[in-house]
Amino acid sequence: MSFFQGNKMTAGYGDGPDIISSCSINVSRGEIVAILGPNGAGKSTAMKAMLGLLKLKSGSVSIDGDDISSLSPQDRVKKGISFVPQTRNVFAELTVRENLEIGAFLREDDINKVIEEIYELFPILKEKRSQIVGQLSGGQRQQVALGRALMIRPSVLMLDEPTAGVSPIVMDELFEHIIKVKETNVAIIMVEQNAKQALSISDRGYVLVTGENKFEGSGKELLKDPEVRRSFLGA
């Protein structure tokens, strides 16, 4: 039994059609799991379902053995699940430091120590701490988004395309940061378009097609699988 599990989740938006059907994703602490798949496959939707942003028609979500299917997103955040959405994942009009402070909104204790830890992980954020986030570069913004999500010291981190729109060098840098976070015993699920690079740092991967699990396996297995290579890795 994994630490954080989505079991046979079926869900859609409002009264619309099911976007994911019987989709299962799980992750253990200290593990990185990649979710891959074509555009519109339902990758973001699967993540939103695990956070409770949409209602499950069937299936369940559990953390550490507790069923949390009926909890609101805010209550799941309180359980230690942090989410970095695909778009609008920072407060663009606030400063870097204020973004981190809001990330720790639910914490009652002294947050200065956590902020210092984040600054250590992302030195650029310390340098830019008083700048408005809207004025930062794409890579710096992604670091703010990650930093904000880490402020609650989550046990589960869900990242929706953390490297969207950044250069290959910055992408490598971001992946290094993500590995560092994993080493602090956090369970990480990430959706990625850069499938090869994502699989190379992931312990396991899932390939979703039209909302269903199509392939799953360790990073290496998926990288080698000829069918996966042909349809998703462009090789």
Partner 1 sequence: MDLLNAVIVLLNYTVIPALTYGSQLALGAIFVTLIYGILRFANFATGDMMSFGTMFAVLLTYYFQSLGISFGILPTALLTIPFAIFMMILYMLTIDKFVFSYYRVKKSPPVQLAMVSVGVMFVTQAIIRIIIGPSDRRFLDGEKFILKATEFKEMTGLNEGLTIKSTQAITIIVTIILVSIMFWFLNKTKTGTSMRAYSDNEDLALLSGIDPKKVVLITWVIAGILATIGGILYGLDKSYRPFVYFNNMLPIFAAAIVGGIGNPYGAFLGGYVIAFAEIFLTYAYKRFFIYLLPESLEPNSMIQLLSTDYKFAISFSILVIVLLFRPSGIFEGKKI
Ligand X SMILES: Nc1ncnc2c1ncn2[C@@H]1O[C@H](COP(=O)(O)OP(=O)(O)OP(=O)(O)O)[C@@H](O)[C@H]1O
By CB under 6 A, name the binding residues for ligand X: 13, 16, 19, 37, 39-45, 86
Between helix 112-121 and helix 168-183 the angle, nearest 10°, is: 130
Rounded distance, CA 53 to CA 73, Å?
Answer: 6
Of 116, 135, 208, 198, give the one whose Cα is nearest residue 163.
198
Residue 45 binds: one of Mg ion, partner 1, ligand X, none (C-beta under 5 to 8 A by kind): ligand X
Q: Cβ closer to Mg ion: 156 or 158?
A: 158
| Smallest gap from residue 141 Cβ to partner 1 (A) | 12
- By C-beta, is 114 or 189 nearer to ligand X? 189
Name the residue nearer to partner 1 (CB basis): 92 or 233.
Answer: 92
- Applying CB under 8 A, the residues found at the interface with partner 1 are 51, 73-74, 77-78, 83, 85, 88-94, 98, 101-103, 105-106, 132, 148
For residue 212, what are its two tokens?
A: 């269903």
DSSP character string of 178-214: HHHHHHTT-EEEEE-S-HHHHHHH-SEEEEEETTEEE
The owner of tokens 């402070």 is: 101
Kindly state the smallest distance separating residue 61's Cβ from ligand X, in Å: 16
Structure token digits, residue 97: 């430091």
Of these, 5, 21, 26, 44, which contacts Mg ion (CB under 5 A)?
A: 44
Q: Between 36 and 77, whose beta carbon lies closer to partner 1? A: 77
